[in-house]
Amino acid sequence: MSRRGLLIILSSPSGAGKSTLAGRLRTWDTSLRFSVSATTRPPREGEVDGQHYYFVSEEAFREKVNDGGMLEHARVFENYYGSPKAPVQNAIEDGCDVLFDIDWQGAQQIKNSSLQDSVLSIFILPPSITELHRRLVSRGQDAPEVIEGRMRKSWDEISHWDGYDYVLINDDLDQTEAQLKTIISAERLRRSQQPDLVNHVRKLQSEFGERE
């Protein structure tokens, strides 16, 4: 029997392991589609349109927002970023799950959208603030002042943990990955995700009638 796809949202403060876990999920299930965002910023060297981002003009982006064509959007450092609705809607109607790696603001917009019935939202917490800072430093990607900025922002992000369907503490990456797989596998089996169940039950009822 066919099923409806899930719109899977992963959120966390920077350094909690969200992107690593998203990558592991896509390795676990290669049918998972990753939502490609649209942006008004110019492409950087090596970036491919439609693969890393959809690169659009500000006029085209605003038009898409006004037409209801964006699930969520935000302005970041003079550029717009957002998630186009059409590819996501087509995917979940085809029974494919779509993975989002976004912050709490984007998650809230999607949970208030017309696709809210397909949303599965999961927040990833760090085991401690000390460990969160250690992970940011050990990545070796950011200057000290950037790390401190991420740390200051982390509390605001963590404060929205109770707006999610599931909350996991990422103390052990392998264990958290296993928990994510369990959640997704169970959510795929929800009655609301299996539209053909009604027809199957009717078929069973018909078979009972034929026996009388």
May I ask the CATH class of domain 7-211? alpha beta
d(CA 188, CA 74): 30
Rounded to an integer, the average pLDDT of 18-28 is 93
Q: Give me the helices (H) in the chain, please.
A: 18-28, 58-66, 85-93, 104-111, 129-139, 144-158, 173-188, 197-211
Rounded to an integer, the average pLDDT of 195-205 is 90
Q: What is the pLDDT of residue 1?
A: 54
3-class secondary structure, 81: strand
Nearest to 122 by CA among 171, 61, 163: 163
Q: Are 15 and 139 in contact (CB under 8 A)?
A: yes
Q: What is the pLDDT of residue 212?
A: 66
Instruction: Sort residue 33 into left (φ over 0), alpha (ψ -120 to 50) or beta.
Output: beta
Q: What is the pLDDT of residue 142?
A: 78
pTM: 0.85
Q: What is the pLDDT of residues 110-131, one digit of tens each?
A: 999 989 999 999 999 999 999 9
Q: What is the pLDDT of residues 139-197, one digit of tens each?
A: 877 788 888 888 888 989 999 999 999 999 999 999 999 999 999 999 999 988 888 88
Percent of the chain, pLDDT > 70?
99
Q: Give me the helices (H) in 31-94, please.
A: 58-66, 85-93
Is residue 84 over pLDDT 70? yes
